[in-house]
Structure 1
Amino acid sequence: MPARRRKLSNPLALTVLTTLWQKPMHPYEIAQTMRQQGKDASTKINYGSLYTVVQNLQKHGFVEVTDVERQGNRPERTVYGITEAGREEMTEWLSDLVAVPVKEFPIFETALSLLGALPPDDVVRLLKERLDALEVQVAGGRGVLDKFRETLPRLFLVESEYQLHMAEAQAEWVRGLLEEIRTESLPGVAQWRRLHETGEWPPDFT
């Protein structure tokens, strides 16, 4: 079943809704809470646009003003809370994201689809650089995850586990592709090499 078309599609809006689901907050507190809970590691968060996101949520009836805080000479702070419509939207939107696979377009996939434009030896060198970076990322991710496991329930670490697993899977796949290109056991590597040496397209490439 396809995901429903949403009035708001920015994942930051969903993150704001789930943050306000915890309790009413003013935008600055929303930003602080998202940082403290590590949401910026799994969602692209532009804190400068946070106020606009909150205003859009209010326009669609998903959040509402619950209070205006005044402290001394400081500017007023508007506190927002999630509405019943916001709770329904949050639940349906999050459920769709969990249940319905969506074709995404990671930039690495784009690069792989265009790989033939680089000479094989360059690709070997570049994939080796990527593999080295992935191995550092995996090692660091394991260390951070082990540290967090000492104080946090696993429920709050599943996205970090997923990120680590995906990095490990990518590293394993890159390692295999790298070896196939290096040893020319990948079909078409010889023609690929000749293409860059002669500038002529092999017949089976066209």
Structure 2
Amino acid sequence: MMILGLVRWMQPVHGYDVRRELLSWGADKWANVQPGSIYHALRKLTEEGLIRAVATEQVGARPARTTYEVTPVGEDEFQTLLRGFWWGLSEPLDPFSAAFGFLPALPRSEAAAALRNRANLLRANVASMRASLESDWIRNSKPVHVGWMFELWAARAEAELSWCEQVADRVESGVSYLPAELENAEGWSAWREGGAPLDADPE
């Protein structure tokens, strides 16, 4: 959607200019758009009939540059994708969520330390994002709303680091991880204490 949208925005446009614009937004860091994949994506969009090449020109010994524009089919696809992402909710996949599901497998001291370390890493990221918001790169970026996304990411990170610290406090307090019906169930004693041994069989 990013590449299709930029072709639509800047058309007629060379692939080089699409690449430069995406990098000026920092999209390689937050949208999983790698600079080396942009030309491949343009070719794929062309093959699918979403964009078309309108001209190819070469100046001196420089590589030939192809100019692209969006087709009617591409316009429909862009509008569909755009509204799907605006009106939908898609949670990012984070391996930490899977690991946290096995919280009782870690000793309490290690789990609490890992949570506090995660909070510190998030705090450093927030500081970096806040610095970027004050930098000339953001102030001079185009469009301005790229900076607004940094504000969103900083707010999310601040919320998560607060959660990490709160859960670390709970872990250290000795609160049981198990629901009441399993508190005295056979085979769950190690999990109740936090830090089940690797050879433990909870069944």
Aligned counterpart, 2:50: 62
Q: Note if 1:26 corresponds to 2:14.
A: yes
Distance apart, 1:27 and its partner CA: 2.1
CA distance in 2, matches of 1:100, 1:163: 18
**Contact 1:63–1:83 (Cα < 8 Å) also in 2:** yes
Which of 84, 92, 95 does residue 107 from structure 1 map onto?
95
Aligned residues: 189
Q: How does 1:98-137 map to 2 (within 5 A)?
A: 98-137=86-125
Distance apart, 1:43 and its partner CA: 0.5
Structure 2, unaligned stretches of length 5 or more?
A: 179-189
Identity of aligned residues (%): 22
**Contact 1:124–1:178 (Cα < 8 Å) also in 2:** yes
RMSD: 2.5
Aligned counterpart, 1:167: 157
CA distance in 1, matches of 2:121, 2:155: 15
Q: Deviations over 1:107-126 (max 9, x none)?
A: 22122123333222111121
**Contact 1:34–1:40 (Cα < 8 Å) also in 2:** yes
* Residue type at the aligned position of 1:195: A
Aligned counterpart, 2:147: 157
Deviates more, 1:153-162 or 1:37-46: 153-162
* Residue type at the aligned position of 2:194: R
Q: Alignment partner of 2:135: what SS?
A: helix
* Residue type at the aligned position of 1:65: A
CA distance in 2, matches of 1:75, 1:150: 33
**Contact 2:104–2:196 (Cα < 8 Å) also in 1:** no
CA distance in 2, matches of 1:51, 1:150: 28
C-alpha distance 117-45 of structure 1, shift in aligned 2 (>3 A):
same
CA distance in 1, matches of 2:139, 2:149: 17
Distance apart, 1:38 and its partner CA: 1.9
Aligned counterpart, 1:176: 166
Distance apart, 1:185 and its partner CA: 3.1
Q: Alignment partner of 1:101: what SS?
A: coil
Distance apart, 1:147 and its partner CA: 3.2
**Contact 1:180–1:186 (Cα < 8 Å) also in 2:** no
Structure 1, unaligned stretches of length 5 or more?
A: 1-13
Aligned counterpart, 1:8: none
Q: Deviations over 1:148-181 (max 9, x none)?
A: 6655675332321221111111111111111111
* Residue type at the aligned position of 2:7: L
Q: Alignment partner of 2:85: what SS?
A: helix
* Residue type at the aligned position of 1:193: G
Aligned counterpart, 2:60: 72
* Residue type at the aligned position of 1:156: V
